[in-house]
Amino acid sequence: MWARYGEPMAKLLKYEDPKTHAVPKINVYMASDYGELLPSHGTPVDSLTKRGLQLAVCSTATRAVAGAIAKATGGKTDDVYKELIANLLGNGRMVPAGIVAVSRAQERGYTMVKA
């Protein structure tokens, strides 16, 4: 998704590739060669999901990102939203509201990790 929608996502998120200081063309959290440039210290997300990391993806926020991408590219929000969902990382699961999912998970002993 970063190769396809990197520019509108980077603009919306106010994010740049920490290595190149340009619009990311890859998901830098999936790359192992970023080392100390990332909060994950270069540990790719897929290796963490193999160790049990659970990913909850906020549907509300994803819909907002899809809307911004659609506006920037002349696409349709629903089409971009479906594409984003189809390309979730690892064991990512869509949840209606991220904050509710985090609260419920914490009640059950999970810990929220924010990059």
Contact 44, 29 (CB under 8 A): yes
Does residue 14 register a pLDDT over 80? yes
Does residue 48 register a pLDDT over 60? yes
Please report, rounded to a whole number, the percentage of residues in the chain having pLDDT higher than 90.
48
Where residue 113 falls among pLDDT bands split at 50, 70, 90? low
- pLDDT at position 112: 62
Alpha helices (H) in 55-97, listed in sequence order: 59-73, 77-86
Does residue 70 register a pLDDT over 90? yes
d(CA 82, CA 96): 15
- pLDDT at position 5: 94
Where are the extended beta strands (E) located within 1-81?
A: 56-58
